[in-house]
Structure 1
Amino acid sequence: MSAQPRSELPLFGPAAEALDARLLTEAVTRLRRALRASIRTDYPWEKLPMAQVELLQVLGEHSPARISDLAARQRLAPSTVSGLIGQMITTGLVAREVDSADRRASVVTLTDAGRDQLTAWTTAHERRMDAALASLDDTTRSAIATALPALFQLAEQLGRLDDGS
């Protein structure tokens, strides 16, 4: 298997039996990098750092949220999230408000501009991914569809390892 160039390594079929963590990590990294690069080529307005996009995604599902909750969900230091949130407040993507459950604390919410930015980002990525998937043959698309539940389970397992479970 190591004699083949990386670009020709099979991702599915018999090679799947000898799943290599290094190759899976490389595939995920390359996929993420390619998606990020292609979106910025096709949609030059997209300038948000991935850390901010990921916070928008979390807030899109869990808003309002405390900084400590966002940090825990993203597995980042609260000071890092606080700095990112400060930048996002400046650009009008999020707002900080008093927590109605505990007036001593604050929560972060998406603004209309943040929600619009998240929707545009998601739509652009889905369009780009749809185009790439459409260019693949049926067998490859089917293999990817079949692998999705396992990839979600792998992500959950990695999260449990980080949590010490």
Structure 2
Amino acid sequence: MPPQSRPEPSAPPYPGSAPDARLLTEAVTRLRRALRASIRTEYPWETLPMAQVELLQVLAEHSPARIGDLAARQRLATSTVSGLIGQMITSGLVARAVDPADRRASAVTLTEAGQAQLDAWARAHEHRLDTALGALDEADRSAVHDALPALFRLAEQLDDTMTQA
């Protein structure tokens, strides 16, 4: 069955839902699934679970950070983040040290190895997306490019909504 480039809007899945929201949900889900599957096929060295990648991304932006703060940012249980951080310490991707703001607590920082792994992960995804974008016609590439600012604003809106919840 050939892939559908743009599903046609159908009846909303629940009362009050917008077809655009449903289609965007489908598009984001398909993009994540395709990237996750292709990265393991084309770059077999890439074995980091997505939860660890997302923690590395947060630490690249907000480091040092307490485990509780990481858990809140990722909307995960503290015990889950603590377990992931333990695995990442063992792998040398992050380090735990005394929190300079509160000597009774510990903070996690990204190591050079963690930053290098995150950079390699990003380059692999960028290469994969660049190849896929290159296969699109100019109108579709332009549409994707033009949509990027709105997609970033949508992500910020979703983040703002979550922090207010």
| Class of the TM-score when normalised by the shorter of the 2 chains | 0.7 to 0.9
Q: 1:110 corresponds to which residue?
A: 110
| Contact persistence 2:88–2:94 (CA under 8 A) | yes
1:62 corresponds to which residue?
Answer: 62
What percentage of residue pairs aligned between the two structures are identical?
A: 74
Look up the match of 1:30: 30
Confirm whether residue 9 of structure 1 aligns to residue 6 of structure 2. yes
**Cα displacement (A) at 1:19:** 4.5
CA distance, structure 2, for counterparts of residue 8 and residue 29 of structure 1? 14
Q: TM-score by structure 2 length?
A: 0.86
Separation in structure 1 between the aligned mates of residue 29 and residue 150 of structure 2, nearest angstrom: 17
Structure 1 residue 161: deviation in Å? 2.3
**Can you give the 5+ residue segments of structure 2 that lack an aligned partner in the other structure?**
9-17
Partners of 1:144 and 1:103 lie apart in 2 by: 47
* Amino acid in the other structure paired with 1:9: R
User: What RMSD over aligned residues (CA atoms) do the two structures have, in Å?
Assistant: 1.9
| DSSP 3-state at the match of 1:106 | strand
SS in 1 for 2:105: strand
Partner of 2:74: 74
Question: 1:8 offset after TM fit, Å?
Answer: 4.3
Q: RCO higher in 1 or 2 (8 Å CA, sep ≥ 6)?
A: 1
In the TM superposition, what is the alpha-carbon distance from 1:9 to its structure 2 partner?
2.6
Q: Please give the alpha-carbon distance, in whole angstroms, between the structure 1 residues aligned to 2:149 and 2:33.
A: 22
Q: Following the alignment from structure 1 to structure 2, what is the Cα–Cα distance between the partners of residues 163 and 63?
A: 19
Change in CA separation of 1:43 and 1:118 when aligned onto 2, cut-off 3 Å: same
In structure 1, C-alpha distance between the alignment counterparts of 2:108 and 2:44, rounded to whole Å: 28
Structure 2 contact 7–23 (Cα < 8 Å) conserved:
no
Q: TM-score, normalised by structure 1?
A: 0.86
Matches within 5 A, 1:123-134: 123-134=123-134
State the SS of the aligned residue for 2:4: helix
Amino acid at match of 1:163: T
How many correspondences in the alignment?
Answer: 155
